[in-house]
Amino acid sequence: MFPMPDCCWNDTDLKSSRARHQRRKLYMLKGWRDAVERQLAAVNAAIGTLEAQMKRDQTND
C-alpha cells in the first residue's frame, strides 16, 4: 500500500512530513478552541443578562 520508509523516503522527509502534520493539527485545534471560547463568552453574556433581569424583577416586586 505505502512504500517502506527505507526504500523511497529519507529520514528528513519523514521528519518534515511529521512536522507539517503537527503544524496543521495545531492550527486546527486552536481554531476549535477559539470557536469554543466564542460560544462560552456568548453563554456567559446570556447568563449575566438573565441574572441582571431576574435581580431587577425582584427589586420591582
Residues 6+ apart with CB under 8 A from 3: 9
Provide the pLDDT confidence category of residue 54 given band limits of 50, 70 and 90.
very high
Q: In this model, does residue 52 exceed pLDDT 70?
A: yes
Full-model pTM: 0.66
Which position has the higher pLDDT, 4 or 43? 43
What region, left, alpha or beta, does residue 9 occupy, with left being phi > 0 and alpha being psi -120 to 50 degrees? beta
Sign of the alpha-carbon dihedral angle for 30, 35, 41, 44: negative
